[in-house]
Structure 1
Amino acid sequence: MNTEGVEFFYMEEGAKSWQYKKANIQKANDNPLHKTLQQVYSGSQNLESYAMYNDQPPEGTASGTYAHSKGALAFDRTSGFWIVSSVPRFPAPVKDGYKYQDQQKTFGQTILCVSVDKTMEDKIKSVFETTHPYIYDSKNFSPTTGNKQTTSDVNMKTRGNVQLKCIAKSADYKYGNKLSGEITRTVRSL
């Protein structure tokens, strides 16, 4: 399959298979990623909190003390979303609006977006307390820094009642390959 690097495969909750989208990820038309992030970029009065994080931020650099993680999240009074991605320098800060740059389409990327209830915000914060991501743009979202756990194991649920488990480690985790055994035990217990 020949592509221009802007098309993508997409799966909605409840779908049985991936759908190939010829839509351009750099444009607004028929782009679920743009539609999701536009809730933040539009400056909606309903938006209570958001955060954008990336160890390769759109502007400047992050030191090596931050997590190797990328994504965004936002919440209103009742619900929100959490995007976890591999895309460097994405998403753009709110002041710049939605941008998916040409250099971001060079390599294959993954983007996972889950819709969650507002109650999941504190669970995401607990993960961030362990991982310490580089948050370069935010509003009313600040994980406390008192958590000294080297791992976290958090049960989550999507708005569609899909159960998720988020397993994370801190930079201070010093047990190398032992982590894969911990993950295996955790997954088997599901």
Structure 2
Amino acid sequence: MIAPLSNQNGEAVEWWLSYKLPVKIGPQKNTTGFEFLYADSSPASQLSLSPIQLDHSQSALGLTLDQVFSGGPECGYVLWNDEIPPTQANPNPQNNGSLGHSKGVLAFSKKNDCGFYLLHSTPRFPVVGEKTLPDYERQFGQTYLCVSLKDYDTANQIAAILHCQNEAQVYASHLPESSSDEPLCKFANKEAPSPAPQPANLRFLTSQGSPFHLIAKNKSWSEPPRGSNVGRDFWKDLIGPTLNCDIDVESWRRGTVFGDLDQQNAAITEDIVDIDLGKIGLTGYSWPFEKDHAKWGIATVQPPGVIVISDINRQLSQDKRGGGGLAFQSPTLWQALDQIQVKEKNVESSPHHDQS
């Protein structure tokens, strides 16, 4: 069965966050790509370097995926990723680039009226039955946020959004109890979704009543209007207004990014270009955006101290794809993320920040 989410000490938590470090950083430039920062909902939790690595069976990610794949016959799940993981049976899977830029795991039990949602940023992950990161996905920084769900109905509400807004590319599922008319079943079976012209903002509760927002958009909302090459920016045009705050954003940056086109609004939505862990006690651990595939943002001030973990970048090409993010509040985690970010205006000229 799906047990309550647990942290790496075996204690029940409502959510946990893992932030994987890139390879070859740190004082000795010798990280393996399995090291990660960790925080969760327990009162004493601080964002810090985990004493165990991501490939350890007792890591939060390992424990969670063990529930998904070893949870018994009543444990259902749906897996999706814009880059399908290769397997021995399908070594070269074909991806549909018109579907959403979205990655995650939704696990649930109708019998036990519970579930959880794991939103992450790692391509080609996870392979069904495997509980750790493959070697070919160790290179970059990545984020993993897992949230417990109050009930089975919440899992269905999330599935409806992932289906119609994110247009997520499902590659595996197990539906032991879901009926054919439920959103979970329609999502898993890749039925043609209903049109979703307006973004979704689902407020839901964790198993112990903490509030979260799932904010998502369909490509029909953000794609460029006729005669233009620039559509709506998920972060500036949806996340900021929905949460009523200015926001700093860390995401994958390749090619044209919205920030380069929108200098007049740089104070409203500003890009984070470096990560430096020195202010949380990890001197020598820093990396530029080229080494980070994570997707997260924070409100520029506390309060409101909002955190958003997403699966979509602040990159021009993302206006043609669906995607979303989970927003929540954690003052302690917000403070840590605020400390580790280095924003564009605070970065001196260097080769990896050359904008030419």
Query: TM-score, normalising length from structure 1?
Result: 0.87
In the alignment, structure 1 residue 40 sits paired with structure 2 residue 74: no
* Structure-2 residue corresponding to 1:115: 148
Q: CA deviation at 1:125?
A: 1.5
* Structure-2 residue corresponding to 1:177: 232
- Name which of 6, 9, 18 aligns with 2:47: 18
Aligned counterparts of 2:51 and 2:42: Cα–Cα separation in 1 = 21
Aligned counterparts of 1:54 and 1:99: Cα–Cα separation in 2 = 16
- Root mean square deviation, CA, Å: 2.1
One-letter code aligned to 1:104: E
Q: CA deviation at 1:132?
A: 0.9
Report if aligned partners of 1:58, 1:93 keep a CA contact under 8 Å in 2: no
* Structure-2 residue corresponding to 1:55: 82
Rg larger for: 2
* Structure-2 residue corresponding to 1:86: 121
* Structure-1 residue corresponding to 2:204: 156
In the alignment, structure 1 residue 165 sits paired with structure 2 residue 213: yes
Report if aligned partners of 1:26, 1:101 keep a CA contact under 8 Å in 2: no
Report if aligned partners of 2:54, 2:132 keep a CA contact under 8 Å in 1: no
Gaps spanning 5+ residues in structure 2: where?
1-25, 87-92, 176-183, 225-230, 246-303, 305-356
Distance 1:146 1:133, change over 3 A: closer
CA deviation vs aligned residue, 1:83-108 (integer Å, no higher than 9, x gap): 111111111123xx324111211111
Q: CA deviation at 1:42?
A: 1.2
One-letter code aligned to 1:124: I
Query: TM-score, normalising length from structure 2?
Result: 0.49
Q: CA deviation at 1:23?
A: 1.4
Distance 1:100 1:182, change over 3 A: closer
Among all aligned residue pairs of Structure 1 and Structure 2, give the percentage whose two residues are the same amino acid.
27
CA deviation vs aligned residue, 1:53-85 (integer Å, no higher than 9, x gap): 100110213111211011111011221111111
Larger displacement relative to structure 2 (14-23 or 170-179)? 170-179
Gaps spanning 5+ residues in structure 1: where?
none
Report if aligned partners of 2:108, 2:114 keep a CA contact under 8 Å in 1: yes
Distance 1:66 1:25, change over 3 A: same
In the alignment, structure 1 residue 127 sits paired with structure 2 residue 183: no
Q: CA deviation at 1:43?
A: 4.9
One-letter code aligned to 1:119: D
Aligned counterparts of 1:20 and 1:14: Cα–Cα separation in 2 = 16
Aligned counterparts of 1:11 and 1:132: Cα–Cα separation in 2 = 29
